[in-house]
Every structure is written in structure tokens, then in C-alpha cells.
Amino acid sequence: MERLKVTLGHLSVRGDEDTPNKGREFVQCAGRLKRFPDSPDDVVIISALRTPIGKSRRGGFKDTFTDDMLAAVFKATLEKTKLRPEDIGDICVGNVGDPRASVSGRAAQFYSGIPDTVPVMSVNRQCSSGLQAVMNVAGSIKVGQTLLGIGAGVESMTMHRGQELDIPINPKMFENDKARDTLIPMGMTSENVAERFGVSREKQDRFALASQERAARAQKSGAFDEEIVAVTTTVKDKDGNEKSVTVSKDEGIRPTTLETLLKLRPAFKEGGSTTAGNSSQVSDGAAAVLLARRSEANRRSLPVFGVLRGYAVAGCPPDIMGIGPAVAIPELLKKTGLTVADIEIFEINEAFASQAAYCVEKLGIPHEKVNPLGGAIALGHPLGCTGARQIATLLHELKRRGKRAYGVVSMCMGTGMGAAALIEYPGPS
């Protein structure tokens, strides 16, 4: 048996004194999945839930505020785990477009019965905001600030899409090439990736078709049911009349064919290859992940749903921001001593088929391991919610497979970055 030592980045807690970056040991047995030893100090996931993902501006959440969507997943988390609201030690909410995100998070906790003694904060790390919120709470647990907390994400692209256009731009940005490139519209960065790395229109559309087909099968089989919290809300018709609706299923999944996708016109550039059919859908939704120190979970007899084993963030050129997963995932695997072969599922956000397809091929990931239940092209991409939503989808799918396994959640980010987290499903209890 060979023993290897690796650093778990933000989650590392111990190691030999002569090791520059103290790390945790894991054990590799010939022919077996590498295993990290469990520790009372591990950050574990107790619950991961989400709302359905609604179509922006025309779906079931088009008239629903971000604090109401958040409250739905906060309440469901408390109900599922039987925790008292005052037991929550900290809350972090990922969001991109809501200028009052911290206020919305605070209001949502009050709607959920979580008292004012529980602190809340918000974080904006572009498309990884939901994942970063989870990691912020994990960091708070790791350093002993709290024993138990919620990392969440929410976005109403109906209400807050395009708000950044009202903010003045510093003229100095146009004097620096990299700074200027952070202003490139996301659709054009997709075109840059497709052109620079030779991702054909047909390859993008085939990737998009697979996302829709997998999501449709998953929805039909009920694969999303355990992770979704049905939300009763109010919608207005064109005349302003209100009616109550219950949203229980993702709204972006639609029947399609390759022929239909190939007929769509480019959405961002004449003669381009990025279309509405091979891009993520603008959406509304929320998700919440409950985390705890393992010792605290054991003390409370809370079942361990997942274990955070590593995290990495890396930068890339802003004009090809979509390659983020291709730089973040290798950094994560390097930190944790794992390989692509060790990972059961990769949840890679499909901001655009161009970048997702490129990252998958660049990293040599078998297609069957990537987004087995579909991704953002089919489900939608509520920016601040996505990272937390991916954790819910990943862990519930690993649970269905019924064995201890590793999964990776990863995404690209506007301005040129990628993030990736390694999560272990510990197997049936």
C-alpha cells in the first residue's frame, strides 16, 4: 500500500512540520479508489436542495423576489434536517445581479424563522458565486468561527439582468488590454473560444442536444425530485392580474433535434457559431447547502451527505473566460492527488457549449462522466445559484448510484477565472 501526501488547499488541516503546505494524507490502494481518512475536523455537507429553475421573464418565478426564493430553500433545509433556526451559525449567499443581495439574504432568513442573532453575508464571484458561498461557510467552519452554516445561491435574471449597464466605466480600463477584455460580452467570449480552439458549430450543437436529452430523461424518471423544493408563488399576466402557481419542475428542458439546433441563427456575431440553442438559458432560481464540522454533525446525529475534499480557483485570459474549468480542474486534481479517472461525475457548468465542449476535450474527460443529467443549456443558469445547484444535483446523483465516489463541480467565470471543488459521497450509511 502506497501512502501519498497532498494539500487540500483551503481545506488542509494537518501535515508534517517539514512540509511547506501542510496537507492531509490519503491512502491509495492498488486497483482501488483513493481514499482520504475521515477526521472530526472535516467539513461535511448535510443537505443540498434547490428550487426548480424558472425561465427568465416568462416563467413561474418571473414575479418572485430573490428573498422569497431563498426563503423557500432555507425553510426546506430546516424542515428536512429538523434543525432549530437558531442553530444555524452563519449564512453566505452568492448572487451576481441583485444590488441588495445582503439585504435580500437577511430578509430571507427572517421569513424562514432564522433569528437576527444569526449573521449573513453575500458574495459575488460571477458564475461561481453559489459555490463560493458554500466555500466561504466551509472556511468559517474550518477556522472555528462556526460549527454549522448555510452556503446558498440565488438569482432573478428577470428582475436584475443588465443592471450593471447603469454603472459608469473608468476610462482607464480602455488603456489596459486585459482590463478592457473584462468588458467583452459573454457571448463574444464564447465566439472567441470557438474560433481560437476550433470548436465547430456542429460540435457545439451536438453538445447542446446531449444536454437537453439527458435532462429530459432525468426529469421524466424523477431524478431531480429529491433535490427540488416545490415553490408556491404568484405570477402576473400581461394585464397585471395575479394568480397563484406552484412551480415544481425545471422549465427550460424542451424537446429538440440536431436539425433544429443547426437551423438557429448566431446570437452574438454575424457568421458566428454561438446560438440560443447552444448557450445557457437566462433563468431564475435558488439553492442552499447546509454544512457542518463532522464532529458537530456526529454530535447532532445528522447524516453526512457529502464531504468537501478540495477547492481550487484559477485565472485565465478574460477574452476566453470560458476555458476556466480547463485551468481550475487540473489545479484541483493536483492539490488532491487525484486524476480524471478517479472522478465519477463532473458537473461542469454549460455557460456555452463552445467552452464546455472545449474544456471536456482538453481535460480528456469521458463524455459519459460530464453532466449525466444535463446542464445549464437545458436546465438554465441563474448566475448566483448555479454553483450551489450543481452540488445538489451532483450529490443526489451519486447517492442514486449507491457507492462511495468523488464528484467535481466546476464552472467558468466572467472576467476570466475558473473554480472547481472536489466532493466525496461517502456511500450508503
Task: Write out the catalytic residue numbers.
Answer: 127, 381, 412
Instruction: Please give the Cα distance from 394 to 344 (Å, whole number).
Output: 10
Closest CA to 285 of 89, 64, 135, 110: 64
- All three cell numbers of 349, joined, read 457548468
Instruction: Please give the Cα distance from 208 to 202 (Å, whole number).
Output: 10
Residue 215: other Cβ atoms inside 10 A = 26
SS3 62: coil
Residue 343's H or E segment, with its range, is strand 343-348
- All three cell numbers of 131, joined, read 459555490
Given the C-alpha cell 492527488, which residue does it identify?
Answer: 337
Closest CA to 107 of 124, 122, 128, 87: 122
Instruction: Give me the amino acid identity at 374.
Output: G
CA angle (398 as vertex; 394, 404 as ends), nearest 5: 130
Instruction: Please give the Cα distance from 121 to 107 (Å, whole number).
Output: 12
Closest CA to 307 of 138, 424, 150: 424
Contact predicate 74/109, CB 8 Å: yes
Classify the C-alpha dihedral 280-252-60-154 as positive or negative: negative
Contact predicate 280/379, CB 8 Å: no
Instruction: Please give the Cα distance from 256 to 39 (Å, whole number).
Output: 47
Whole-number CA gyration radius for the chain: 21
37's CB contacts (< 8 A; 6+ apart) are 24, 25, 26, 27
SS3 323: helix
- All three cell numbers of 292, joined, read 457542518
Closest CA to 285 of 332, 252, 258: 252
Residue 333's H or E segment, with its range, is helix 324-336
